[in-house]
Structure 1
């Protein structure tokens, strides 16, 4: 049955605060756009009145920290059948939105890139995969029995990730209040959204660029890496195996964790165990055991192929000292020693910092 929400002021006497359905509908969208946390603190607004390819307009489109999309549709003066059918139709369009299209929608509706806004909101980089699933929210000032029946039917019988949230606007003298109620438990709807997953939407990889995490310390030193031209990882296969992705001719964006990006270079030789690597120094070939290293323990476990350092030889194009490392919110980072760099935003920002064209 429809949910009834009321507010009573309790002072010397008990007095019910008045509710206006018309005033609620009028203010609701503006309130949500101003502060979407009233609906959910886990959402970032992508756009308002987002136009679909069919000429229709979604009231609001949002994204959560996992990169999943949320269709927010206000009931306004439409019938229950109209608003639910329209929202489901929008969902059929949203589920196919690509990574690049989502970035474009945000830029068309806001100032600045989605990567920066996402990092500011969630204190985390934008995921490499977006729109793995989606949810539908019907927003209204009051719940009618027909809307309730339709949503319950779709949710319970077909696992459609749909919910209804009801806001009521109350006014007492010069004070204004808003209340919120959900028809269904949002956690249950979130579980159902996993059934909407389609083929993952990842930002396209340019088949050239990688990020390498270079842990500067006793096992490897950034000064050594710059002087002799290499990156490395070791102390276990889990750390070194991702270096095997790096092929001759690939470009790497080298980052020191907790500091930032310190260099861009080209791979000139694929990963090898440290004892098999030979460097050309002033026209002479030398093994790493013959080099003057600042890293105090780079030669650890040299005869153990699982634990020893694995070396990728690099021709550095641009580099800075560790103290000058570049980092801003929204740049791509993860814990792997090497991984494909799919983030065009990161490529643009880091190449701009180092002062040369992206296509170098």
Structure 2
């Protein structure tokens, strides 16, 4: 069933904030053009109203850090069949585009090289291969039952990487608000997008296991992480943003770069800035910044949400010291603070080491 979203002002009694689909549709176009991060912070906008070879125009086109393309189409009061058919038609054209063609589309729409914008956004170079896979997102102010039914059918039965996100725009006096809801977990759709003819030998993700890189240095201490039950990353959004992929209940294999795997545990909270992070100490909830921390500079940039440390609480199953870290040839690692662990050999060997 379509999700119903409402907002109530409870500062002085209880009053529902008004919503209108038409106002939301108009506001959506303005907002998404200015800031695509409202859909996902892991997207760089390639352009809007991108002309295809068939005389049609894609509302919004973006690229993620892995070089995958994301096609977004605003529903704009069209029938479900029309908008679903349209975005699939766009995807059939997008999948044939070469590296150079994607780069040229960006330059035509922005007047600057994609490589420079990619480095500025993700703090890493453009991948050697882009457009290996793609996702389709239908953006709407309201999600009707027919659109939901079609998307669920294509996704569930045929693995089509299509999703819907709907926003609602609310206004209460001078204050303006926008809410966002996904039809399908974006992580599930992302996984389906990686299963393509060009990528069918890639190991599938089991939808629960992650690797977390934990730098044991002046900014964070492994002894603190073990004692208080957390992982963290900071000093820039490129380092901390991947912690957002860790969901409550996910299993993490923690490793210290250049040392090896030091722990396995379960995520018990979403990523939050250090100043808001809480931990349990002898059955008492405390602010992590108020604890006796060994890391000399973990509290850096506390009020800077781009550079401060971000924390995810972990219930550790097994831990070892940095000196006893596990590493053998053939294990996989990744430069991101958190990333999906697909490599079955790594899962098996690390699980065996920790006696799971």
User: What is residue 215 of structure 2 aligned with on the other side?
Assistant: none
2:143 is equivalent to residue 114 of structure 1: no
User: Partner of 2:105: helix, strand, or coil?
Assistant: helix
2:174 is equivalent to residue 174 of structure 1: yes
Taking the aligned partners of 2:24 and 2:77, their CA distance within structure 1 comes to 12
User: Partner of 1:196: helix, strand, or coil?
Assistant: coil
Contact 1:134-1:196 at 8 Å conserved across structures: no
Larger Rg computed on CA atoms:
1
Give 1:11 shift: 1.6
TM-score, length of structure 1 as denominator length: 0.55
User: What is residue 183 of structure 1 aligned with on the other side?
Assistant: 183
Give 1:195 shift: 1.9
RMSD: 1.4
Which whole-Å deviations, capped at 9, do the CAs of 1:121-146 have from their partners, x for residues lacking one?
Answer: 00000011000100000000011000
User: What is residue 42 of structure 2 aligned with on the other side?
Assistant: 42
User: What is residue 128 of structure 2 aligned with on the other side?
Assistant: 128
Over 3 Å counting, the alpha-carbon distance change for 1:184 and 1:199 in structure 2 is closer
Over 3 Å counting, the alpha-carbon distance change for 1:197 and 1:49 in structure 2 is farther
2:77 is equivalent to residue 90 of structure 1: no
User: What is residue 74 of structure 1 aligned with on the other side?
Assistant: 74
Give 1:12 shift: 2.4
Which whole-Å deviations, capped at 9, do the CAs of 1:70-97 have from their partners, x for residues lacking one?
Answer: 0000000210100000000100000111
Contact 1:138-1:163 at 8 Å conserved across structures: yes
Where do 1:294-305 residues align within 5 Å?
Answer: none
Taking the aligned partners of 2:185 and 2:126, their CA distance within structure 1 comes to 27
Contact 1:107-1:114 at 8 Å conserved across structures: yes
Taking the aligned partners of 1:198 and 1:141, their CA distance within structure 2 comes to 34
Taking the aligned partners of 2:128 and 2:71, their CA distance within structure 1 comes to 21
Taking the aligned partners of 2:197 and 2:133, their CA distance within structure 1 comes to 5
Over 3 Å counting, the alpha-carbon distance change for 1:193 and 1:199 in structure 2 is closer
Which whole-Å deviations, capped at 9, do the CAs of 1:185-207 have from their partners, x for residues lacking one?
Answer: 0000011001235389xxxxxxx
Taking the aligned partners of 1:34 and 1:194, their CA distance within structure 2 comes to 28
2:159 is equivalent to residue 159 of structure 1: yes
Where do 1:230-245 residues align within 5 Å?
Answer: none
Where do 1:210-359 residues align within 5 Å?
Answer: none
Taking the aligned partners of 2:197 and 2:121, their CA distance within structure 1 comes to 24
Taking the aligned partners of 1:168 and 1:199, their CA distance within structure 2 comes to 36
2:7 is equivalent to residue 15 of structure 1: no
Contact 1:76-1:140 at 8 Å conserved across structures: yes
User: What is residue 320 of structure 2 aligned with on the other side?
Assistant: none
Which whole-Å deviations, capped at 9, do the CAs of 1:152-209 have from their partners, x for residues lacking one?
Answer: 0000011000000000000000110000000000000011001235389xxxxxxxxx
User: What is residue 32 of structure 2 aligned with on the other side?
Assistant: 32
Structure 1, unmatched stretches of 5+, are 201-334, 336-360
Taking the aligned partners of 2:23 and 2:48, their CA distance within structure 1 comes to 20
User: Partner of 1:121: helix, strand, or coil?
Assistant: helix
Give 1:148 shift: 0.3
Contact 1:167-1:180 at 8 Å conserved across structures: yes
Which whole-Å deviations, capped at 9, do the CAs of 1:94-138 have from their partners, x for residues lacking one?
Answer: 011100000110011002100000000000000110001000000
Which whole-Å deviations, capped at 9, do the CAs of 1:25-48 have from their partners, x for residues lacking one?
Answer: 111011011001101000000010
Taking the aligned partners of 1:172 and 1:197, their CA distance within structure 2 comes to 49
User: Partner of 1:115: helix, strand, or coil?
Assistant: helix
User: Partner of 1:130: helix, strand, or coil?
Assistant: coil
User: What is residue 139 of structure 1 aligned with on the other side?
Assistant: 139
Taking the aligned partners of 2:115 and 2:101, their CA distance within structure 1 comes to 14
Contact 1:169-1:178 at 8 Å conserved across structures: yes
Taking the aligned partners of 2:44 and 2:117, their CA distance within structure 1 comes to 8
Structure 2, unmatched stretches of 5+, are 201-334, 336-356
User: What is residue 282 of structure 1 aligned with on the other side?
Assistant: none
User: What is residue 149 of structure 1 aligned with on the other side?
Assistant: 149
Contact 1:132-1:198 at 8 Å conserved across structures: yes
How many residue pairs get aligned? The number is 201
List, as ranges, runs of 4+ consecutive aligned residues in structure 1 with deviation greater than 4 Å.
Answer: none
